[in-house]
């Protein structure tokens, strides 16, 4: 079947688009010529970039080694990376978050954590995600998406620091005032 070459799709001969196993490529009338052209372009690109060879599409990658937790962390689920980084920074600085909060002092200078700690100190019954999100949006003029991300971090961070726990969807302090 003869097909007008001016009708070739934009992906024709693309290094990253062609995959003979993909339904789009398998049903394309230009696939027979596109495959070799894609391979040729890939070879040129690899030479320009100094890449010896890359595994083909669908090649199995080696599995990453999962680090086994030790000590008290062995019983706790892993924290999100950003939250763990905050915990590490607090530990490096030697800040006693629980002690500061018990003394009625807010140990945080970061806006979202400062607001969350303030709420923990002031609200006996704790607060839910929507309350914190609303505070962050109002006080910091953040978008809902940004505020939600920080709420999620806070709901992981405060229990990890041992100053709060999540009860019935609320972050409730575990330190005495």
On whether both 117 and 162 belong to a single domain, the answer is: yes
On whether both 43 and 84 belong to a single domain, the answer is: no
CA-based torsion, 83, 87, 89, 90: positive or negative: positive
pLDDT digits (tens, 9 = 90+) for 27-44: 888 888 888 988 888 888
62 located within any domain = no
Task: Give the residue numbers spanning the domain of 163.
Answer: 73-173
On whether both 120 and 40 belong to a single domain, the answer is: no
pLDDT digits (tens, 9 = 90+) for 120-134: 999 999 999 999 999
Q: In this prediction, what percent of the chain has a pLDDT beyond 90?
A: 46
- Using alpha carbons only, give the angle 127, 131, 132 rounded to the nearest 5 degrees: 85
On whether both 42 and 105 belong to a single domain, the answer is: no
56 located within any domain = no
Q: Count Cβ atoms within 10 A of the Cβ of residue 120 and give its class: 0-12 exposed, 13-18 middle, 19 or more buried.
A: buried
1 located within any domain = no
25 within 8 A of 18, measured Cβ to Cβ: yes
2 located within any domain = no
61 located within any domain = no
pTM of the model: 0.57
42 located within any domain = yes
80 located within any domain = yes
Phi-psi region of 148 (alpha: psi -120 to 50; beta: other; left: phi over 0): alpha
88 located within any domain = yes
pLDDT digits (tens, 9 = 90+) for 56-85: 544 455 566 655 555 544 444 688 889 999
State how many domains the chain has: 2
């Amino acid at each position: 079947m003869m097909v007008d070459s001016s009708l070739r799709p934009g992906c024709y001969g693309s290094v990253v688009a062609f995959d003979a196993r993909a339904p789009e490529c398998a049903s394309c009338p230009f696939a027979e010529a596109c495959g070799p052209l894609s391979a040729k372009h890939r070879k040129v690109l690899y030479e320009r970039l100094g890449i010896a060879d890359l595994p083909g599409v669908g090649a199995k990658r080696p599995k990453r080694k999962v680090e086994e937790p030790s000590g008290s962390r062995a019983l706790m689920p892993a924290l999100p990376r950003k939250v763990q980084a905050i915990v590490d920074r607090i530990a490096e600085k030697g800040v006693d978050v629980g002690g500061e909060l018990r003394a009625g002092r807010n140990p945080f200078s970061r806006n979202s954590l400062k607001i969350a700690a303030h709420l923990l100190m002031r609200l006996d019954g704790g607060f839910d995600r929507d309350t914190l999100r609303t505070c962050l949006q109002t006080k910091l003029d953040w978008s809902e998406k940004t505020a939600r991300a920080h709420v999620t971090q806070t709901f992981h961070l405060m229990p990890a620091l041992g100053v709060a726990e999540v009860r019935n969807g609320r972050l409730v302090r575990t330190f005495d005032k």
